Amino acid sequence: MTVHKIDFDEVQKAMEDIAREAFDYFLDTETGQVVILSEDILEKARSILADSYEEDLAEFEAVELDEECNLPEWAEDEVELALDVFVHQQERFRRIPERRPEHVYEAMQGFAASLEDRDLGLALREILEGKGAFRRFKDALQAHPKEKKQWYGYNAMMARKEISAWLGSIGLTAPAEDQIQDNAE
Q: What is the pTM of this model?
A: 0.78
Residue-wise pLDDT tens digits, 23-50: 999 999 988 899 999 999 999 888 887 7
Residue-wise pLDDT tens digits, 138-177: 999 999 999 999 999 999 999 999 999 999 999 887 665 5
Question: What are the angstrom distances between the C-alpha of 112 and each of 35, 99, 125, 149, 151?
Answer: 34, 20, 6, 13, 9
What is the DSSP code string of the chain?
A: -B-S--BHHHHHHHHH--S-SSEEEEEETTT-PEEEEEHHHHHHHHHHHHHH--S-GGG-S-----TT----HHHHHHHHHHHHHHHTTTTTEEEPPPPPHHHHHHHHHHHHHH-S-HHHHHHHHHHTSSTTHHHHHHHHHTT-HHHHHHHHHHHHHHHHHHHHHHHHHTT-BPPPGGG-B-TT-
Residue-wise pLDDT tens digits, 90-145: 788 999 999 999 999 999 999 999 999 999 999 999 999 989 999 999 999 999 99
- CA angle, 17 then 84 then 38, to 5°: 30
Q: What is the pLDDT of residue 182?
A: 46
Q: What is the pLDDT of residue 141?
A: 97
